[in-house]
Structure 1
Amino acid sequence: MGSDKRNFRSNYYEKVGCRSIEEKKSLEILLKEKPWDKVKLKQFSLRFMIPTSYRYLVWKVQLGVLPTYTDLHSFVSTQRQAQFNDLQHALKVMRIVDNNTPKPQLFLAMFMLESGRLHYNFNLQMDCGMVPISRTLLQMYDDDVDVYWLAKGFYNFVEQFEKDIPKLIDSTKSLLEKEDQDLYRFLQDKNVLDCLPLNKWYTSCFAGILDESALVKIWDKVCGGSSKVLVYVAIVLLVTLRRGILRCEDAEQVLRCIHDVPEEAEEVIANKSIELWQQCGSMIPGQGESIINKAKPEIHLR
């Protein structure tokens, strides 16, 4: 009976978006270690959703904003603040930004300056995942300094797997064909298959496509070191919206449909994506394997 009550309670927490008490306690135990073990924290992030009260701090450590030695957090935070101010001041002296520059573009320019990639004809409006990532983080957190360093950490990870994005895109198309041949053929017939914004989705980690409450669940896995989870998000997003997509008459309507994700679908997409990713061993299945039929989830909306 005790086991049944525990399972019921755990299932209830999952349904309302909360993590079990046991998982929170497990994280607290990890955070008592000195120094923190970044590998264990990443493993926790890949296996569970980080509790909201700890996410901000855990993300900063996982993304290298803060060190694993907690005694140094205050000192490093002060240095991050000073470096942030220096970068911003330098850009203003160079007249690349001013007080009216939107923060996402400001952070992009700071990132380019810090990484030595700022050139004389730099375009603040360049298409770069750093901008939507920054914009989303600004909606989550109030501290501009932390947002910049978090955005930089996320985008540094994107750049690490950027060379593999063509493979991720090929895998996405292949998996979509296996899971929903009708949808795949429809997109192919409408000449939209190669126009899907997969590269943009992956380089922005779906920032600007899903809202913050759905994104944080996916970004927990990204912080844990997984880029493959993004493939599952793309597949589930397309299959979830299939009814609307199949009613489109041309490629423009299809692209508009997948850009305007219904609010009530976003949590479904995030939860099912992670569920499938975990059930498939957190990897992209090989030839002949099914990611959706294997788990048999119901992901149709309306």
Structure 2
Amino acid sequence: MANEKGNFRLPYYEKCGFRGEEKKSLEIILKDKPLDKIKLQKFCVGFTVPAIYRNLVWKLLLEVIPVYTDSHEFVMEQRNLEYKELVRALQTMRIIDACTPKTHVFYAAWLLQSGRYSYEWTQPQQDDQFIMLAHVFLQHFDNEVDIYWLTKYLYEYIIKYKNDYPKLIDRLWSLLEKEDKELFLHLQHTGLQKAIPIGKWFDSCFAGILNENPLAKIWDKICGGSVKILIFVTIALLTIQRHELLKCTTLQAFLDCLKNISEETADLIAVKSIEMWQKHGSPKNVNANNNSNN
């Protein structure tokens, strides 16, 4: 009976990020002094980060905190002070108040910190990409200081790749044609191929499209240095929803088909996209200083 119970619980533990061997491997990496960022990136390329370590690993890979563990407490104290000063300044300027949604607070703080805030605005114009990224982090973590800095660094990391979008999207259509020619031709003939907002999906790393829990598996790869996985998430999304999408001839009908994707379906999309990415596009060699080809 004990073995049966263990087998029954195993899928649950794996879903929550408690796979034994992987967890132990990551714990060994996290004992290095200083921490080895390349090892962490390789782990993210090969495995799903256990949920209990995701906050730490993402902060390390996005450079919210340094690889020197002795400095973590001091650095986060400074991050905390800077964030609170930004919030205090925004409150003084009456840009935010107690009723302002946290995602909007984070965005206003980023505008102010990065020198993009205009004093002519009574309210900052919102950036959907930043807001959606922040929303996902809010579902995973409780500390708003962590969430602000993670959102800021992931946002700034992704926008560096906007010039690469045309190349990534060309690769996407080439692979989709091989993967599902019927669907590819349907999207082409209806004009949907050019209308689908793939750039916006890339901008938000599929926040607002896929459930936050399966999405974290994809973000592990992005934080590990591979923006290229967004190609395969798109292909998995389209092919798994193909039966409904083949009925669509307008953009609105197409977008309606992608609303309210269940967590179970989102999990299938995440698993398939990672499998395709590992087969076609995952980086063979991880370089902590140059991930542009990943």
TM-score normalised per structure 1? 0.84
Of the structure 1 ranges 63-72 and 180-189, higher mean CA displacement relative to structure 2 is found in 180-189
Q: Gaps (5+ residues) in structure 1?
A: 1-8, 284-302
Structure 2 match to 1:89? 88
2:269 maps to 1:244: no
Amino acid at match of 1:226: S
Q: 2-side partners of 1:178 and 1:23: how far apart?
A: 33
User: Which amino acid letter does the alignment assign opposite residue 169 of structure 2?
Assistant: I
Give the aligned residue type for 2:43: F
CA gap of 1:281–1:135, structure 2 versus 1, over 3 A, is closer
Compared with structure 1, are the counterparts of its residues 186 and 120 closer, same or farther at alpha carbon in structure 2 (3 Å cutoff)? farther
Distance in 2 (alpha carbons) for counterparts of 1:101 and 1:124: 12
Tell me the CA shift for residue 124 of structure 1.
3.6
Structure 2 residue aligned with 1:24: 23
Structure 1 position 13, deviation (Å) = 6.0
Asked whether 1:50 is paired with 2:49, we answer yes
- Report the alpha carbon displacement of residue 188 of structure 1 after superposing the two structures with TM: 2.4
Partner of 1:157: 157
Amino acid in the other structure paired with 1:66? I
Partner of 1:196: 196
Change (3 A) 1:14 1:234: farther
Identify the residue that residue 300 of structure 1 maps to in structure 2: none
| C-alpha distance in structure 1 between counterparts of 2:119 and 2:187, whole Å | 41
Identity %: 46
1:125–1:240 Cα change, 3 Å? farther
Q: Deviations over 1:246-282 (max 9, x none)?
A: 1234321112112332332110000010011112251
Deviation of the 1:24 alpha carbon = 1.7
Indicate the SS of the match to 2:161: helix
Q: Where do residues 177-256 of structure 1 align in structure 2 (5 Å cutoff)?
A: 177-256=177-256
- What is residue 140 of structure 2 aligned with on the other side? 140
Task: Report the Cα distance in structure 2 between the residues aligned to 1:250 and 1:280, rounded to whole angstroms.
Answer: 31
Residue 125 of structure 1: how far off its partner (Å)? 4.5
Report the CA distance between 1:81 and its aligned residue.
Answer: 0.9
Quote the offset at 1:16 in angstroms: 4.8
Structure 2 CA distance for partners of 1:15 and 1:61, relative to 1, 3 Å: closer
- Aligned partners of 2:184 and 2:43: how far apart in 1? 35
* Correspondence 1:71 to 2:70: yes
Separation in structure 1 between the aligned mates of residue 174 and residue 280 of structure 2, nearest angstrom: 16
One-letter code of the match for 1:245? L
Query: Aligned partners of 2:235 and 2:120: how far apart in 1?
Result: 38
Partner of 1:6: none
Deviations 1:145-175 (A, max 9, x none): 1110111121121022122122222222232
- C-alpha distance in structure 2 between counterparts of 1:235 and 1:15, whole Å: 28
What RMSD, in angstroms, separates the aligned Cα atoms of the two structures? Answer: 2.1
Amino acid at match of 1:246: L
Give how far 1:129 is off.
Answer: 1.4
Q: Distance in 2 between matches of 1:173 and 1:281?
A: 14
Residue segments in structure 2 that go unaligned for 5+ positions in a row: 1-6, 284-294
1:118 match: secondary structure: coil
* Number of equivalent positions: 273
What is the CA-CA distance between 1:44 and the residue it aligns to?
Answer: 0.9
Return the letter of the residue paired with 2:215. Answer: L
Question: Match of 1:164, as an amino acid?
Answer: D
Report the secondary structure of 2:104's partner residue. helix
1:245 and 1:120 map into 2 onto residues whose CA distance is: 45
Q: Secondary structure at the match of 2:115?
A: coil
Alignment of structure 1 residues 100-179 onto 2, 5 Å:
100-122=99-121, 124-179=124-179
Amino acid at match of 1:231: I
- The 3 A distance-change label for structure 1 pair 165 and 120 is farther
Which one-letter code corresponds to 1:191 in the other structure?
Answer: G
Letter aligned with residue 269 of structure 2? I
| Relative contact order higher in (CA < 8 Å, ≥ 6 apart) | 2
Change (3 A) 1:199 1:281: closer
The equivalent residue for 1:292 is: none
| 1:47-73 Cα distance to aligned partner (Å, 9 max, x none) | 111111211111111111112111121
Contact 1:81 1:145 in 2 (8 A): yes
